[in-house]
Amino acid sequence: MLRVYLDHMATTPVAREVLAEMLPYLESRYGNPSRPYDLGAEAREAVERARERVARLINASPSEIIFTSSGAEANNLAVRGLAEAQKGRGRHLVTSAIEHHSTLNAFRSLQKRGYVVNFLPVTHAGEVLPERVEEALTPATTLVSVMLANYEVGTLQALREIAEIAHDRGVLVHTDAVAAAGNIPVDVEKLGVDALSISSHTMYGPKGAGALYLREGLRIVPLIYSGVQEEGRRGGTENVPAIAGFGRACELAMESLDRVERVCWLRDKLIEGVLEIEGVELTGHVERRLPNHASFIVEGVDGEALMLALSFEGIYMGNGTACISQVLRASPVLLAMGYPAERAQCSAIFTLGRETTKREIEYVLSKLPGVVDKLRRISPLWRK
């Protein structure tokens, strides 16, 4: 049976080149980067080489990169660290209703500490309208955080416009670029953002490494207290193998951006085929979406049931936020986009990778109608 992995928003395989970069730091080069002797120095060099590579991917300076354990930690550090560093100026914050849980829950934690947070609504296509951001700003606003691309529906946000609006009012801007980085060009200068989160394991790097870009000169309150690591901004001995792999993954991501048309073509082929099934709707923006992202509502078919049924055919896809409640099954992102709960639980997400082939897409299209039909026959959600 063919194995077709189309859940690249959840995670990606580790590229062979990435693994090769990591192995020496799991074997003989095990030194602590904080040590002055040669074993420490070679580990430190690996971390600094990775910092340069990560910075290059997003057009930043190496000193503007803070390594973290994940994209989620980078989001937490940005939201909590920037809000706390600016609390003397104000305690009002702005974000969107469709952010990743790591962002939403970081903001909720600040609400408990006396901050006022606006969770902005989105359009039916999942867009955060820049004018909504403008309306939300007050003299007490210190931070706006809006994701660059949404994990569940692939919609790209007008970050540059949002950043311009916020900066006109002296408000800092953070973006979660975890879903975007490696799939589309991400340039901190062109976006005009002050902080940006990325993750290793969604771009063919290992799990356990992420990074926050923080514009030179900005202050941030750390989340993890220790000493000199990451210039006193994030404590804990560096995860050298994962960071080294992350750096190599960023280099590979830059190279792969030239080949994005192929992924886009396969994605469109998939969308075209899936939409031929009765009762299927594309979610997210038709054009302004990630090139590898195809997301649908398959009417009458519970997203999780579809995910499991397809896995028995060797097809791996996603059904929305990984940490969604088993009881409240509807996707919060789709609910925020205005879908009723019974449709929002029928989310099906296919995210392609660099290794995806035409044969694999054809295999998915050959299996999907039958699986959907089978599930609908036993579904209380399907009334035809």
Partner 1 sequence: MGSEVRFVEGEEIKADAVEDVVYRLCPMHIMRLEERIKELKKGEVLELQTDYEGALSDIPEWCRKTGNELLGVADTGEYFRFFIRKRVD
Active-site residue set: 323
Residues 6+ apart with CB under 8 A from 342: 330, 381
Q: Read off the DSSP letter of residue 289.
A: B
**Using CA atoms, how far apart are residues 187 and 175, in angstroms rounded to an integer?**
12
Of 64 and 251, nearer to partner 1 (C-beta) is 64
**Using CA atoms, how far apart are residues 162 and 155, in angstroms rounded to an integer?**
15
Q: Which two tokens stand for residue 109?
A: 């934690």
Q: Does 225 bind partner 1 (CB under 8 A)?
A: yes
Of 181 and 223, nearer to partner 1 (C-beta) is 223
Stretch that binds partner 1, among 101-109, 149-157, 225-233, 331-339 (CB under 8 A): 225-233
Stretch that binds partner 1, among 44-52, 125-133, 156-164, 228-236 (CB under 8 A): 228-236
Q: Out of 31, 126, 222, 332, name the contact with partner 1 by CB under 8 A.
A: 222
- The answer to whether 345 touches 303, Cβ cutoff 8 Å, is yes
> What type of residue sits at position 46?
A
Angle ∠(321,322,324) on CA atoms, nearest 5: 70
Q: Does 170 bind partner 1 (CB under 8 A)?
A: no
Stretch that binds partner 1, among 219-227, 279-287, 302-310, 336-344 (CB under 8 A): 219-227
User: What do you get for the CA distance between the two ends of the chain, in Å?
Assistant: 32
Q: Does 231 bind partner 1 (CB under 8 A)?
A: yes
**Site pattern 136..155 for partner 1 (x: CB under 8 A):** --------------------
Q: Does 237 bind partner 1 (CB under 8 A)?
A: no
- The answer to whether 186 touches 199, Cβ cutoff 8 Å, is no
We find the least distance from the C-beta atom of residue 230 to partner 1, in angstroms, to be: 9
Stretch that binds partner 1, among 45-53, 185-193, 213-221, 263-271 (CB under 8 A): 213-221
Of 9 and 214, nearer to partner 1 (C-beta) is 214
**Site pattern 75..104 for partner 1 (x: CB under 8 A):** ------x---x--x----------------
> What type of residue sits at position 69?
S
Closest Cα partner for 156 from 198, 209, 98?
98
Of 232 and 340, nearer to partner 1 (C-beta) is 232
Pairing of strands 210-214, 280-282: unpaired
Q: Could you tell me which residues are beta bridge partners of residue 195? A: 174, 214
Helix axes 358-377, 303-311, angle to 10 degrees: 120
**Using CA atoms, how far apart are residues 250 and 244, in angstroms rounded to an integer?**
10
Q: Read off the DSSP letter of residue 63.
A: G
**Site pattern 315..344 for partner 1 (x: CB under 8 A):** ------------------------------
Q: Does 219 bind partner 1 (CB under 8 A)?
A: yes
Q: Out of 201, 233, 293, 367, name the contact with partner 1 by CB under 8 A.
A: 233
- The answer to whether 43 touches 25, Cβ cutoff 8 Å, is yes
We find the least distance from the C-beta atom of residue 220 to partner 1, in angstroms, to be: 6
We find the least distance from the C-beta atom of residue 51 to partner 1, in angstroms, to be: 17
Per CB under 8 A, residues contacting partner 1 are 81, 85, 88, 217, 219-222, 225-228, 231-233, 235
